């Protein structure tokens, strides 16, 4: 990406959230609103206050948008992590996955196959950007992780479903609207009700952010037997 291309890209796509990334100490790129709204709460739960520590969680409006935002921010040597789903069940998602694989210098099968809850890769490009891949999608990965944790902790495996139902009662979304708000509500309830639970993806993301910025975490995942490596 040349200086001219960067300028033209920025002029065409600039928005307040994108602008925030240029002032961040660390950028987490994600697919959309669900991760953008819920992830900062989960990271705060382990000791990373995104506002305090200058961490920007940026939803880019779809998986296929991730490569161009990654290219933009890494062009300026901004520390960046990319979070995305491994869903690969239709032509659009397959096209997006091929785009990510080509851009990041990894094999598509590395992140579309053999992902249990989440998996961490590195981009085979200068900077070695961490790639955190979720099984199916954010909600599915969180649900599976919580269900496995709760079976050992005598907690109710359906808690998250209950919290999402409560959120729908408050928000009263139409159709698929409000997914991000529902996810944020459930994340807030989860952190308050089960302070010992640290989602696997949050552990992986927080570890890399803390290493980059020198942040001391206040809790870590205690049960790592199910880490899918």
Contacts 24+ apart (CB under 8 A), 47-53: 47/206, 47/210, 47/215, 47/216, 47/217, 47/218, 47/219, 48/206, 48/209, 48/210, 48/215, 48/217, 53/25, 53/26, 53/209, 53/213, 53/215
The average pLDDT across 86-99 equals 92
Is 165 contained in some domain? no
pLDDT at 10 over 60: yes
User: Dihedral sign, CA of 157, 88, 34, 19?
Assistant: positive
**Domain interval for residue 63:** 3-137+195-213
pLDDT at 226 over 80: no
Is 14 contained in some domain? yes
Is 222 contained in some domain? no
pLDDT in tens, 97-142: 999 999 999 999 999 988 999 999 999 999 999 999 999 999 999 9
Is 188 contained in some domain? no
Is 126 contained in some domain? yes
pTM: 0.91
Is 52 contained in some domain? yes
Is 74 contained in some domain? yes
Asked whether the beta carbons of 82 and 131 are under 8 A apart, the reply is yes
pLDDT at 14 over 90: no
* Segment among 29-38, 53-62, 155-164, 216-225 with least mean pLDDT: 216-225
Is 40 contained in some domain? yes
User: What CATH number corresponds to the domain at position 43?
Assistant: 3.40.50
The average pLDDT across 1-30 equals 77
Structural domains counted in the chain? 1
Asked whether the beta carbons of 138 and 117 are under 8 A apart, the reply is no
């Amino acid at each position: 990406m040349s200086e001219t291309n960067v300028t033209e890209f920025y002029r065409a796509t600039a928005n307040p959230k994108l602008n925030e990334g240029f002032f961040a100490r660390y950028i987490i790129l994600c697919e959309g609103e669900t991760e953008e709204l819920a992830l900062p709460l989960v990271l705060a739960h382990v000791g990373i206050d995104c506002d305090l520590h200058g961490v920007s969680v940026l939803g880019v409006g779809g998986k296929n948008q991730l490569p161009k935002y990654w290219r933009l921010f890494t062009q300026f040597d901004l520390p960046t992590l990319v979070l995305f789903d491994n869903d690969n069940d239709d032509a659009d998602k397959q096209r997006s996955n091929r785009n990510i694989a080509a851009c990041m210098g990894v094999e598509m099968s590395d992140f579309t196959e053999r992902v249990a809850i989440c998996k961490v890769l590195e981009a085979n490009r200068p900077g070695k950007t961490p790639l955190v891949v979720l099984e199916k999608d954010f909600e599915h990965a969180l649900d599976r992780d919580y269900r496995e944790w709760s079976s050992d902790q005598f907690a109710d495996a359906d808690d998250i479903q209950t919290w999402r139902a409560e959120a729908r009662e408050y928000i009263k979304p139409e159709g698929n609207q409000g997914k991000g708000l529902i996810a944020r509500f459930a994340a807030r309830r989860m952190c308050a009700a089960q302070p010992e639970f640290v989602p696997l993806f949050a552990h992986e993301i927080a570890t890399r952010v803390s290493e980059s910025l020198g942040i001391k975490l206040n809790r870590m995942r205690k049960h790592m037997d199910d880490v899918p490596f």
